[in-house]
Amino acid sequence: MVIPVHDVNPVRRTPWVTYALIVANVVVFLATPGVTGSVTGGGSLAQLCHLEAFTQHYALVPRELIHGRLPSLVPTGATGVGVQGPGCVLGPPTYQKSPVLSVLTSMFLHGSWLHLLGNMLFLFIFGNNVEDRMGRVRFLLFYVVCGYVAGYGFALLDADSSQPLIGASGAIAGVLGAYLVLYPRARVWVLVPFLIFLPLRLPAWIVLGFWFLLQAFYSAGEGVSDAGTVAYTAHVFGFVAGMLLALPLRPGTPPPPEPRGLLFGRRARTGW
């Protein structure tokens, strides 16, 4: 998988909404109970139980969203000792959870620094130009709508699952889809792992098209022995939603500047 680091596509105004979304995601991550222990791998049982309770409260759970069935027992955040040893205590929920609202709150939850930073990197590189083209208010609405499409799409295909879904990647996939529609010829600097990290400057349609094909491939269960904790299906739904919503804006979108020099290697010239 290529790692994008910069796009050759200047903006006309400061992307404040993109920056605000990044800050909000980082703040929520740092404020998540027990997240420090989960990141370092040295967390106590109490920290992990607090994290599990917090996630259950605010994450999207397909069974809750599609069937409206809230669990009678949830992690309370407390620890106890049962017949199988120490563990997290379950009890009746002490809060009122809105499954529909949980789609929104789940967009700001992340399970690790790698999960968070990977999502924020893509949002930082590609979100500014999409926001610049749409305008701040429309971009914020667009971001939320793509996140909801991704969340509902994932839940509909696994409606009986009680596994929480967290992360901004569904909404950010929508941003990538819109960027592909609006700026397919923009040049993107990427790092390609080939013995070493090889820097290349490639058209956006190659970078983002390849990314989408991988997500579609993995969402079909191909190429991976287990989907694990990555919601590839949500990425596919979000990406397609972003493309469709951006199509009306494609006419009149100014093309990105044509870079000089080679498209790869040290001789390529850019302005960053």
How far is 183 from 250, CA to CA, in rounded Å? 9
| Per-residue pLDDT in tens (0 to 9) along the chain, 272 residues | 788 999 999 999 999 999 999 999 999 999 988 776 555 555 678 888 888 889 999 999 999 999 988 888 888 878 887 777 788 888 898 888 999 999 999 999 998 888 999 999 999 999 999 999 999 999 999 999 999 999 999 999 989 888 999 999 999 999 999 999 999 999 999 988 877 788 889 999 999 999 999 999 988 774 443 444 578 999 999 999 999 999 999 998 888 876 655 444 444 444 43
Contact 162, 99 (CB under 8 A): no
C-alpha pair distances (Å), 136 with each of 16, 18, 230, 249: 8, 9, 29, 14
Spatial separation of the C-alpha atoms in residues 215 and 110, rounded to whole Å? 19
Strand pairing class (85-91; 74-82): antiparallel
The single-letter DSSP state of residue 257 is: P
Q: What does the pLDDT read at residue 227?
A: 42
Partner residues linked to 74 by β-bridges:
91
Phi-psi region of 83 (alpha: psi -120 to 50; beta: other; left: phi over 0): alpha
146 and 127 Cβ atoms separated by less than 8 Å = no
How many Cβ atoms sit within 10 Å of the Cβ of residue 21?
25
pLDDT at 37 (0 to 100):
54
- Who's near 225: CB < 8 A, 6+ residues apart? none
Under DSSP, the state recorded for 272 is -
pLDDT at 207: 94
Q: DSSP label at 44?
A: -
Rounded-to-integer distance, Cα 189 and Cα 86, Å? 49
pLDDT at site 260: 59
